Amino acid sequence: MKQVSDYIRTIVDFPHEGIMFRDVTTLFADPRGFRMAIDQMLHPYAGMQIDKVVGLEARGFILGGAIAHQLSVGFVPIRKKGKLPGTTISQDYTLEYGEAIVEIHDDAIQAGEKILVVDDLLATGGTAEAGIKLIERLGGEIISCAFIIDLPELGGRAKLEALGMEVQALCAFDGL
């Protein structure tokens, strides 16, 4: 029987030499694999109150939309700076090779709402940490952060857990 990790392709030396890129588009393209991933991502939260799912740009939108639909709750995107049309708040963060800024609409989350944060991959945790800070600034209560892939060597899980976050991942890959 196939597992989620079986649907993920590895592309060597992308985007540059020495990187083992974990490509989830092959998972998304397969109806059984995609359903399996969504079902498994939902499983730990059965019976829990979740008010909104927050997806991190960009593949977190694909997962977050599907999960929000299954839970019958709202979906909120966290996007790169300048992509949202309304009034936003922003958070800068450090990438492996520079800095970036993400934003959320300032009215997207109400104080006390229970939030599930979703993305495809947890590497260094920088994007997720920036998203967590935005959600907390709006008063949201994060119940968990869910990912398809964890890259443990890059320390993202430890970073998020140090912030007091519960972290779920469907699979892990060793090596960069």
Please report the pLDDT score of residue 155 as a whole number.
95
Taking the CA atoms of 134, 107, 148 and 22 in sequence, report the sign of the dihedral they define.
Answer: negative
114-122 and 98-105: which strand pairing?
A: unpaired
Q: Write down the catalytic residue from 9, 32, 35, 96.
A: 96
Q: What are the residue ranges in the chain where pLDDT is below 50? A: none
Q: Write down the catalytic residue from 22, 59, 79, 157.
A: 59
Domain ranges of the chain: 48-172
Judge whether 57 counts as a catalytic residue.
Answer: no
How would CATH label the architecture of 48-172?
3-Layer(aba) Sandwich (3.40)
Please report the pLDDT score of residue 86 as a whole number.
96
Please report the pLDDT score of residue 176 as a whole number.
62
CA distances 156 to 66, 85, 90, 103, Å, are: 24, 30, 21, 20
Kindly provide the b/e burial profile for residues 89-100, where b requires at least 16 CB atoms within 10 angstroms of the residue's own CB. Answer: eebebeeeeeee
Rg of the chain over Cα atoms, rounded to whole angstroms, equals 16
Judge whether 129 counts as a catalytic residue.
Answer: no
